[in-house]
Structure 1
């Protein structure tokens, strides 16, 4: 997540420059054919291009709205996880007289948070984080989940025996929550807690299951491919036809101008075509980079930061002194 005032224009231009190169070629070729080769018949009526541009603007706007909603939903889910985690820490401390039980419940919860963020950072075929323009930008930050194995992180919070058990499970996160439930039942059977307290903490586990399912739904359900391909097709078609639609209009300017540009006004199609097309392609690229809120890009929900803050708060509840350091933005990017 970018936490600065805004992206710098140079950063944005660097990120989108490959499309600019393609647009440069697409705009020069029609002008050369029209001006140098005398193929004036290749000009397309501007009305046709304008209608296509209008339809394309609607599809681009629709996609960007929906992808923003996906990111917003992801942020809301993790806000709920933060709230429920704080409650879990308080209940674990106040409901039990045994410090060992309190610590086990809190540490296992931190293991669940770790397993969940690693699951969210795993790759999917439709994600775009490995595209060239995104991998180049990643030189400005690093993704912690790609640098440290999950096993090493989980080993900080649970025993080696439980670690091997959860790693062998089909769903590591679900198995960790299941083990939390087992411990709660043991504590209730041993009369370490009352029925009301037991039900309250079981309700907390239910909320964690719900939040996990919402995260998995966002992670495993891409933006509908039928809308994505239509959006991409319309933009490419518009960028291809735009310079053809501008040829005759700019050529007519030769009748009203004097000086060095007289007779050569059609060459202004190149910069204006690039500028208009770049706006459309950039909006598409922005929507594409926003539709997967957990993939590890600069526009992600900052899972690592959220989990680290929760861990610090929970360890403070245990009155621990050796706390992990807070995470800060790297070049205004917070993950």
Structure 2
């Protein structure tokens, strides 16, 4: 996620240089094609004007849909932050030593620690799943037996939630928490599952390829027609003007496409690495742990992943 309101020139060039180069070549070819090959053909200025208006609607639709996907992803992970803190708070505050329970003293403390650590593992496993990377960060928060067990499942985050549900049921039967406290904690597990499912829905739903493809095609047509329509009146300046008009349209479209897949490990994506680390820090501090990791640091002060 970008942290600054203003972009440096090198980052703009890094994002657009390929399109800029192709567009410049296209404008040069279009200019000389108009003055050499199509000397007797005059392209009316109204043609690129109408086409540009239509393309603006296409780009606006694409960008709106892209931002909706990005913002929904950010809301989902914002809810995971709040629910994770509540989960740890409830585990630490709701547990009590029931007289009929076998879980007392240090065993009770270890149970709390295990369930909080397991939740951190859930977040790291979910992050790895969304970014389609083979991260094993979650393993250090699970026991060896739990690691071997969850690896037998195709959906590791969901398998970790299953372990949490079984332990929650066990401590309820042991009398560690009563029915009134069991319900909100079970609702939190359901919220975690909802957040996971919503994230997977966004991640696995491909934006219709035809919208992206035809929008790009129409922009290239627009750039060529604009250059050719003004070549006769402004001469070689048509190359520069066609390039500038195309730069505006292409860059606007690239901006939308950069956030179309919000969980990608890019500068414009939702910073789920930073969010996961923040939750980890909060939960470990709630436990009173001493070995607390540092927050994820911004890259060059410009963005955070």
Is 1:328 equivalent to 2:297 in the alignment? yes
Partners in 2 of 1:86 and 1:194 — Cα distance?
21
Q: Counterpart of 2:246 in 1: which secondary structure? A: helix
Which residue in 2 is equivalent to 1:14? 14
Instruction: Please say if 1:235 is aligned against 2:219.
Output: yes
Q: Does 1:104 align with 2:114?
A: yes
Q: Does the 8 Å contact 1:243/1:270 carry over to 2? A: yes
**How far is the alpha carbon of 1:278 from its aligned partner?**
1.1
Preserved contact between residue 231 and residue 237 of structure 2 (Cα < 8 Å): no
Counterparts of 1:22-101 in structure 2, within 5 Å, are: 22-35=22-35, 37=36, 39-97=38-96, 98-101=108-111
TM-score (norm 2): 0.92
Q: How much is the aligned-residue C-alpha RMSD, in angstroms?
A: 1.4
Say if 1:71 and 1:292, in contact at 8 Å, map to a contact too: yes
CA distance in 1, matches of 2:91, 2:127: 22
Residue 193 (structure 2) aligns with: 209
Quote how far apart the aligned CAs of 1:290 are: 1.1
| Deviation of 1:38 (Å) | 6.6
Q: TM-score, normalised on structure 1?
A: 0.84
- The unaligned stretches of length 5 or more in structure 2 are 97-107
Equivalent-residue separation in structure 1 for 2:42 and 2:166 (angstroms):
73
Q: Which of residues 227, 231, 236 is equivalent to 1:267?
A: 236
Distance in 2 (CA, whole Å) between partners of 1:188 and 1:38 is: 83
Q: Which runs of 5+ in 1 are unaligned?
A: 123-145, 251-265
Partner residue of 2:103?
none
Give the direction of change, closer, same or farther, for the CA distance of 1:200–1:30 in structure 2 (3 Å limit): closer
Taking structure 1 as reference, are residues 24 and 43 closer, same or farther at Cα in structure 2, changes over 3 Å only?
A: farther
Q: Are 1:174 and 2:161 matched, yes or no? A: no
SS of residue in 2 equivalent to 1:69: helix
Where has structure 1 moved over 4 Å in runs of 4 or more?
none
What corresponds to 2:257 in structure 1? 288
Q: 1:32 to 1:150 in 2, by over 3 A?
A: closer
CA contact (8 A) 2:30 2:224 kept: no
Aligned length: 293
For 1:214 and 1:14, locate their aligned partners in 2 and report how far apart those are by CA, in whole Å: 32
